[in-house]
Structure 1
């Protein structure tokens, strides 16, 4: 095995607290090394060390050796590395331009990389800005960037986060193909099904330290694969709370408007959970953003308690803003990096409910504590919390607004099993009353089965199937629904281990 890059005895401290302590990790040519562990264990900090990047104010000790060429990086939250002001085509063309060739050759390389990253319509994606893509599409664009760089090492931080099970198969197959080309892959993941089938070696981290390492088969022996989805018993439905009427939405591009939702009619009753399920790019997030006033390029009507809602967030009253709250997939990007998390959670009640600051702070602390976040954790800045901790804080912030409808966009994606269960348990507890309605946007049919009363399946901007969760999981009718179910848990491509 040829050693391509390594870290040795790495220690990273922030504010006198070690977030990585004595970690050694090696990247070998043509091999996939998976780093696993709970949220906050230090996986991402270790992976970023191979790129020479560390948290602000970090004190670093140890040895990091990387190849002379670039190190590719696929982040958990892809929007953080995509320039929001430039179209995808321009971003990728900048990379391939360094390799020379005619304009047609450069464009061909870009489109080939997008195809390898499992994007079915490269031409349409190239014309869009990053914010006009779903989280899954953004993830695949970043994978295309890494492929175009020609790196000898690729650090993939939760690359299957937010992906439907069918797209996940393609991402996994592509990572296997990358390794087959002799590229070293460092896979940071909570998805043990992916790790089990893809990794040559597994490194287990906990509280910043390596607690186990070895061949994947040995380290993961006895760990049960994720179970197929099972539907919950539906609850009695209350009066209609939220609905859409003939909603058609689009994205604006240089070539004109591109329709992304077509004639959507869906309703949500008080105390009900509706799961929006579908492949990446099917329109789930755009629909959720229309409901919340975050996407106003649409025709039709969104109705709350019998009254039409203004399309734009800026046109909604304080009461309307409070009533419909949105929890983003990328919790880190939803927080101000310079202010303590507690202050930002409390501000939701001050701004939207006119709660006195002292009372808002007390309510914020009790709500965060109910989600397992101590006052010490809440007093830190966002960069000092794990992804799971930030996601719970984002949920608490939305709740302090006193919503009638809570829209959760892929909030269990990229979390370890413990953090994922905590989030699902928290959402289930919130629904014990009869008032809070939940729109649960997800690729995770198992999670949808745990929470949802009804499931709506979207494909290419249309609702192709809608019904009770039990019926949808046990007796699916549409081809897309059947494919999503048959691929969960997903069968992964065979790959011979590298020696």
Structure 2
């Protein structure tokens, strides 16, 4: 059935081939003013390729057939899954946004441009759910959390006057409170007549925000329809499986208590700063025991990633002690021994930025075993291949360069690379945030199995997702850079004590209920 309102973007029979393999095959999409169209599916299903086609952007060497038609004024804005890739690291956020604003107000008298431009910037930051604008405008992109970077890119799109915004995983790496505000704001943007194309693995967000849903698998649309119909009565087996796996994670329960005695990793009086003066983290004491899984939760920008980077030796501007088996760890990884580097491994939230784009993924994963364990190159390659396959990345994908893999596939490759060091502490920074429900369940099962099989391996899960936090034995809660609560996971999830934790749990329950718009 054709829509009565003319679409702002219409895709007909889109087919995108790379080296003879169709990554999008026969996709039809209509993007209507003021509506939210969601594309869901597994990593590599063709969501991002379809979204980028609306901007006439395709992978290098792609053969494209079909039609993409755009009507109306204004550009198509794009908020990528990995926003750091489109933000200039050498320029402050204020400079990036004011450059765009100046172009929007150049028709005004010169005396009015500065004030009008600043008002536009502050409005865009507010619309993108970025409070404390004055402090944020002075920061460089690397001083922001992944969620904050994403919202800065959204502010750029709003400043440009986009009539269609393609949002690629806009709530990835964000806590329930921020996620709820992003849902509200995108709904408000749509209410102004702007079309939203939502590419997402987060089914709670899709249900709360979308009008229409297209389910993709292996480049094809296997089911589409109004969001509530799909949730009540999914017709395709793959749609049912996506929904069933989400429910299964929540039924999985909370891990029982593990780990006691001497901590493998311990924090004492840790404080961390940015720019040598801005306090961003304060954690008086935190301990991780052998075989234990610790989840660190909190809103975007609360200090979760800063804590993880301190542990891994990637953030040197901190005071206090970080102890491994009771011995102090050097602040910088450059001063850590090979054994210390292998012992504490970090899996980045932005997996694409962590890989060399010019070398095959398999070679980069295997290199970890060669460099940190002294393994033979052939043995390292065999071990890397087996580990990648276990994480759902078969040999044909592993032999590609990073550009040939989706964000979710690269996250799995990054996890495999860290595991080849045979670490004692594995720090996972939002490792499931870019994955569909089926793949996420598989990764969580792998992580749970690792702690069960290896008594000496401990996990630190940096996550906004309380479903992921259920895997943990203990949970630490950060708010505005302060460690506000910690304790057994069961107690934190069922009987939170701090006001922020209580608010986080309540908002999560509302999102899971999925009211729709």
Give the structure-1-normalised TM-score: 0.95
Q: Structure 1 residues 494 and 148, CA, compared in 2 at 3 Å: closer, same or farther?
A: farther
Deviations 1:270-315 (A, max 9, x none): 1111111111111010000000011111111211111111111212
What aligned pairs does 1:374-393 form with structure 2 within 5 A after superposition? 374-393=394-413
The residue number in structure 2 matching 1:80 is 85
After superposition, residues 265-344 of structure 1 pair within 5 angstroms as 265-344=285-364
Match of 1:93 in 2: 98
| Residue 37 (structure 2) pairs with residue 17 (structure 1) | no
2:212–2:226 contact (8 Å) kept in structure 1: yes
SS at match of 2:509: coil
Per-residue deviation at 1:493?
9.2
Deviations 1:24-79 (A, max 9, x none): 11111111111111111100000000111111221111111224521111111111
Tell me the alpha carbon deviations over residues 161-213 of structure 1, each in whole angstroms, 9 at most, x when there is no partner: 11111111110111111111111111111122222222121111110011112
Conservation of the 8 A alpha-carbon contact between 2:322 and 2:329: yes
**Partners in 2 of 1:437 and 1:323 — Cα distance?**
10
Deviation by residue 1:96-138 (Cα, 9 ceiling, x = unmatched): 1111152222122212211222222111111111111111111
CA distance in 1 between counterparts of 2:401 and 2:355 reads: 9
Corresponding residue for 1:477?
Answer: 497
1:461 paired to 2:472: no
Structure-2 change in CA distance of 1:344 and 1:495 (3 Å): closer
Q: How many residues align?
A: 492
Equivalent residue in structure 2 for 1:219, among 221, 230, 251: 230
* Structure 1 residue 414, shift from structure 2 partner: 2.7
State the partner residue of 2:214.
Answer: 203
Shift of 1:238: 5.0
- Quote the Cα distance in structure 2 between the aligned partners of 1:434 and 1:203: 43
Q: Is the 2:271–2:283 contact (alpha carbons within 8 Å) kept by the matching residues of 1?
A: yes
Q: Quick check: 1:324–1:405 contact (8 Å CA) kept in 2?
A: yes
Task: Give the whole-Å Cα distance in 1 for the aligned partners of 2:506 and 2:433.
Answer: 20
Alpha-carbon distance in 1 for matches of 2:516, 2:329: 52
What is the rounded CA distance, in whole Å, between the counterparts of 1:342 and 1:364 in structure 2?
Answer: 7
Q: In structure 2, what is the Cα distance between the partners aligned to 1:481 and 1:214? A: 36
Residue of structure 2 equivalent to 1:180: 191
Pick the aligned partner of 2:128 from 98, 107, 117: 117
The alignment status of 1:248 with 2:271, answered yes or no, reads yes
How do 1:334-373 and structure 2 match up within 5 A?
Answer: 334-373=354-393
Alignment partner, residue 456 of structure 2: 435
Which range is displaced more, 193-202 or 347-356? 193-202
- Alpha-carbon distance in structure 2 between the residues aligned to 1:373 and 1:264: 40
Q: What displacement does 1:375 show?
A: 1.7
1:414 equivalent in structure 2 = 434
Q: Which residue of 2 aligns with 1:62?
A: 66
Contact 1:173 1:493 in 2 (8 A): no
Question: Which stretch shows the higher mean deviation, 81-90 or 364-373?
Answer: 364-373
Q: Distance in 2 between matches of 1:221 and 1:49?
A: 31
- In structure 2, the gaps of 5 or more residues are 106-111, 234-242
- After superposition, the Cα gap between the structure-2 partners of 1:257 and 1:414, relative to the gap in structure 1 and judged at 3 Å, is same
- Local SS of the residue matching 1:53: coil
User: Paired residue for 2:260?
Assistant: 237
Structure whose residues are more often helix by fraction:
2
Find the aligned partners of 1:65 and 1:264 in 2 and give their Cα distance: 57
| TM-aligned CA deviation for residue 230 of structure 1 | 4.1
Q: TM-score, normalised by structure 2?
A: 0.92
- Whether contact under 8 Å (1:241, 1:270) holds in the other structure is yes
Secondary structure of 2:441's counterpart equals: helix
Structure 1 unaligned blocks of 5 or more: none
- Alignment partner, residue 236 of structure 2: none
CA contact (8 A) 2:259 2:289 kept: no
